[in-house]
Amino acid sequence: MVRDEVDELLEAWSRERGDLDLAPVAVFSRVSRLARRLELARRAAFATHGIEQWEFDVLAALRRAGTPYELSPGRLLRETLVTSGTMTNRIDRLSTRGYVERSPDPDDRRGVIVRLTDEGRAAVDSAFAALLDAERALLEDLPERDRTRLAALLRTLLAPFGEG
More confident residue, 101 or 105: 101
Tell me which long-range contacts 59-66 makes (C-beta under 8 A, separation of at least 24).
59/94, 59/99, 59/100, 59/116, 59/120, 59/121, 59/123, 59/124, 59/127, 60/124, 60/128, 62/100, 62/114, 62/115, 62/116, 62/120, 62/124, 63/116, 63/121, 63/124, 63/125, 63/128
Identify the pLDDT of residue 159: 92
pTM over 0.95: no
Domains and CATH numbers, the chain: 52-140 (1.10.10.10)
Identify the pLDDT of residue 110: 84
Mean pLDDT (whole number) for 65-84: 92
Residue 111 has pLDDT above 90, yes or no: no
Question: In this structure, are residues 46 and 127 in contact, taking their beta carbons and an 8 Å threshold?
Answer: yes
Identify the pLDDT of residue 28: 96
Residue type at 57?
D
Residue 164 has pLDDT above 60, yes or no: no
Mean pLDDT (whole number) for 75-87: 90
Mean residue pLDDT of the chain comes to: 93
**Helices H, strands E: what count in the chain?**
7, 3
Residue 151 has pLDDT above 50, yes or no: yes
